[in-house]
Every structure is written in C-alpha cells, then in structure tokens.
Amino acid sequence: MDGVGQLIALLHLREIAHGIADGIIWLVSLATGSEFANHVAELIDLDMLTRGTVYTLVMVGGLFAIIFPLEVLTRSSRVAYAGRTFRQDVLYALFYMGGFYQVLFWSALANVLNDKLAFLKVEVLAALPGPAHWAIYWISVDLMTYWWHRWLHTWGPLWDIHSVHHSQPEMNFMTAYRAHPLEQLMQNLVMVVPLLVMGVPTFRWLPLILVRSMLEALQHSALDWDYGRGYSIFVSPRFHALHHSSDPKHYNRNFSKILSVWDFLFGTAVREPRRPERLGVDGMPVPRTIGAQLLAPFRLMGRRHRNFMEVSGA
C-alpha cells in the first residue's frame, strides 16, 4: 500500500465517507422512500462524491496546517482567511477535487474521447521506469501549460473566462482552484492528448497531483518567497504574485505553472525585489456570489461583442 493509501486507512477516511453517504441516503429516503434514494445515490455516484469531499477537506486542512504557520512566522498577510472569497475558494476546491466536476462535466466527455482518440494511445513511455515517466510527462505538460496560459491571456474570449481566476484581490493557498468550469474543461482537453500519447499509468498520476497541489498552494499563498537562485527554475510565491499584480507593467508576465524557466526562455519573465502591493485586475471587481462569478465571462463576452459591432458600424 502506498503512503497516501496508508494515510487514508489510518484516518479511516473511507469509513467516514461511507458513513456520510449512508446518512444522506437515509435522510433522502425519509422523504422519497429507500428505493428512490438508493437509485439517485447510484446515479450520481454518491460514494465517490462523499469520498472526494472528505479527502479534499483533509487536503485543505493539511495545506492550511503547513502554509498558515509559515505565513505567521514570516509575518505575511493573513487577511484573506477572514473574507468571503477564501470560503468561496474552498468551495471551488471541493467542486473540482471532490468529484462534482467529474460527475457533472468530465466523465461523460472523457468516455466519448476515450473512443474517439483511441488511435492516439501509442503509450511511448510505457517501457520506461517511474522516475522517467514523471520527469518527461512533467516537463512536456508544463511546457504545454505555459503556452495554454499565454493563450488564455491573449485571446479575448479565453481571457473573459480566465478572468474569474484573476478577479481574486486577496490570494490565498486555495485560489489555485478558483477557475471557471469552461476553463477547467478546456485545460483537461489540452492535457488528455499527451496523456494518451505518452501512456502515463493512472497509478503514477497521484504523486504528480499531490506535488503539484502543494506547489500551487504555495504559489497562491501570501508568502513573499522568491526561491533565490531557484527563481529562474521554479515558480515561487513572489513569481506568481507578480503574474496576478494589478500593476500594468506586470501584465502578461510570468505565465509558467511549475517551471519558471519557460518565461525566461520565451522572454515573458519579470522579477521584483518584493511582492506587488495590489492584486487583481483594475476595473474588474469580484462578483459577490459564485453564481455571478460563473456568469461574469458571458457578460464580458457580450460586452466585447457589442463593442465590436459598434466599432465595425454593424
């Protein structure tokens, strides 16, 4: 059993999740009857959703236990934790990591793609050992993510969608999960091709996901670390904070996800001696509710279209 599996067993997380699922079914059955309640539970894969929710809450608690003391020790700002937007970021994390996104959006599409893109399943890395799998996959996907991120900032309709992430003026370690479902769906589509071609076994994804989650949590925290000489290799909290800066001189800079080397290689890197004072996008206030945040890109697209029609004289 791997380390993550041992932790899950030690904390009895599966048993806790199963107990919660049974409780939900019992409550629903009081109003609808047991047969209907069990049918709905099977239809939405309630066991998977409760497991995902429990695991995500444990992950959030673990990241908080690591990052918050570091922010205290370094006297970093912790004002974000008292605000509504932090609670919303946790809800975004629960939606994406807890399985709700999987059930509502990705599962059906993934099943279709599995058949349509089967011809790409050449698995060129199948014979390589685990460390080689991880290194090649991480480097190649990180490079693809860099260019995808640049596109999100340079093509108007994509920026309208990506702006949900940048609307957060008080970043915290959970802000990494603040993203519109359309952006997440498109990013999954971008990433599915290299996974099929390279053939990275699913059991090797988990360590990558855990490490990436930790690094992205640090990047979005209030820590003012730049990693010293490692600034030009790995994305640090200061590096990514500059990407979220509201100062126009920092716009369209520091696109890298994990390896900052791509920004230095392609001329989009910026470095400052300290974190920016203000984050977010001027003139783009955070919609108060999650529902309004999810509708915001469509309003921006509508405004963009109206402006285009006015300029073109149509």
Phi, psi dihedral angles at 252 (to 5 degrees)? 55, 45
Residue 179, CA atoms < 13 Å, CB-side half-sphere: 20
pLDDT at residue 225, rounded to an integer: 95
Q: Report yes or no: 213 and 137 within 8 Å, Cβ to Cβ.
A: no
Q: 3-class SS at 222?
A: coil
pLDDT at residue 1, rounded to an integer: 45
Which token pair is 295? 């509708």
Q: Where are the alpha helices (DSSP H) in 13-129?
A: 13-32, 34-43, 46-73, 84-97, 100-101, 107-116
pLDDT at residue 8, rounded to an integer: 53
Global pTM reads 0.85
> pLDDT digit of tens for each residue in the chain (314 aa)?
455 555 555 566 778 877 877 788 788 787 888 887 787 778 777 787 888 888 888 889 999 999 999 999 999 988 889 888 899 999 999 998 888 887 777 666 666 666 666 666 666 666 777 677 778 878 888 999 999 999 999 999 999 999 999 988 889 999 999 999 999 888 877 776 676 666 666 556 666 777 888 899 999 999 999 999 999 999 999 999 999 999 999 999 999 999 999 999 999 999 999 999 899 887 777 778 999 999 999 988 888 878 777 776 65
Residue 17, CA atoms < 13 Å, CB-side half-sphere: 22
